[in-house]
Amino acid sequence: MKDNRIVITGMGVMSAIGNNAGECLDALRHGRTGIGPMRYLDSVHHEFPVGEVKLTCEHMATRLAALIPATGIDLGSYPRTSLMGAIAASEAMRSAKLSTTDKAALLSGTTVGGMDKSERYFADAHHNPEHSKYIATHSCGASTEAIAQCFPGQFHLATTISTACSSALNTIIVGAELLKSGRASVVVAGGSESLTRFHLNGFKSLMILDHEPCRPFDATRAGLNLGEGAAYLVLETESHALARGIEPLAVLSGTGNRCDAFHQTASSDNGEGAYQAMSRALATAGLEPADIDYVNAHGTGTPNNDASECEALKRVFGTSVPPFSSTKSFTGHTTSASGSIEAAFCVMALRHQFLPVNLNWHAPMDNGLKPVVDMEPSREIVNVQCNAFGFGGNDSSIIISKYQGHEQ
């Protein structure tokens, strides 16, 4: 019996296109982007479009308070990363029908952490002791602990992974290993990342922000749009899910992580790290390249990334590259949270049998590859591959497959 398969039993999402999974699905299926003028981030750089979650922190705190039991937590002091993360994690656990007796591990990916609070209050924290409490929320680990505190007794382990833009996808990979080793019976894995001035200014200094809505894989692409959001998947073994009476949403059939350490921020011309990560995911899934029906590409819209990723796609799939697209044209680049947000989109694509389109695409690159512009698939979608590549060459890829019943 193949009852040790890792399955996905729940998911929760917040992004620029929706404050829950249902809203995100509706936006994907209707080609509705969430990228637009900056509204919530306190920055002078309004020349850059962004993908913001359409709620103030105050509205998020009110929404979260209605979702969690009375804990006495001062949600007003929570950074935006933790608020989004706790709301998305709550949705994921509800959709998986987890009870408080189902002890889980929480794995969360972030890089910005609670920086939005420290940016605002650090300068006068020494003069105003009331503001010092916000500085304590600065670190990546503190933001994860804050999420865990919203669910007393739910998590026996809470840890943070911070590998830049592959962070959230790496939590899913590590979560699968925890399940296989028996160190956890349920894992809530994903990531959360808010926009901050440091975040925006840092990418501006790299000169890779586009003044227009991003155009991944387009010949005229000029850079990325930053975004924010959170998403978590509930992972468990198939036998554990069925014993709880839960029908899995999908199967996590393959995972791969490699680091080519090519450059601090750039990808290699031949996409070596991406190629190795994707190949490893295929190998662990026991699949051939021809078995992949859709690739949710990292697709940031920068000249370097998209060219490099296309080379990796051609190396893996040869002349038969499957349908691929970047959903960052919907959400913006949510950096550390992108892997789990896009993994959730892949689950939606599998369950509802559609191809997320690559918005704003008009002209092919020199390599001749064309991303998805028609959401109707030409064949049944059974296996999808999801990529997330981080600075320093920390590249990850997973394969999510359609759940087609318990395998004997």
Note if 165 is an active site residue: yes
Given the structure tokens 């020349």, which residue do they identify? 47
Note if 298 is an active site residue: yes
Compute CA 383 distance to the chain's CA centroid, rounded to the nearest angstrom. Answer: 18
242: region left, alpha or beta (phi > 0 left; psi from -120 to 50 alpha): alpha
Among 349, 401, 405, which residue's Cα sits nearest to residue 377? 349
Note if 57 is an active site residue: no
**Catalytic residue (choose from 140, 298, 310, 346):** 298
Q: Is residue 269 within 8 Å of 263, Cβ to Cβ?
A: no
Give the DSSP H/E element, type plus range, for residue 192: strand 187-193
**Catalytic residue (choose from 24, 140, 150, 165):** 165
Q: How far apart are CA 58 and CA 76, in angstroms?
A: 7
Q: Is residue 387 within 8 Å of 396, Cβ to Cβ?
A: yes
Q: How far apart are CA 284 and CA 238, in angstroms?
A: 17
**Catalytic residue (choose from 57, 214, 333, 346):** 333
Q: Tell me how crowded residue 328 is: count the other CB atoms within 10 A of its CB.
A: 28
Q: Which amino acid is at 222?
A: A
Q: How far apart are CA 208 and CA 191, in angstroms?
A: 23
Q: How far apart are CA 370 and CA 377, in angstroms?
A: 15
**Strand-pair partners of 395:** 258, 389
Q: Is residue 64 within 8 Å of 192, Cβ to Cβ?
A: no
- Please identify every residue annotated as catalytic: 165, 298, 333
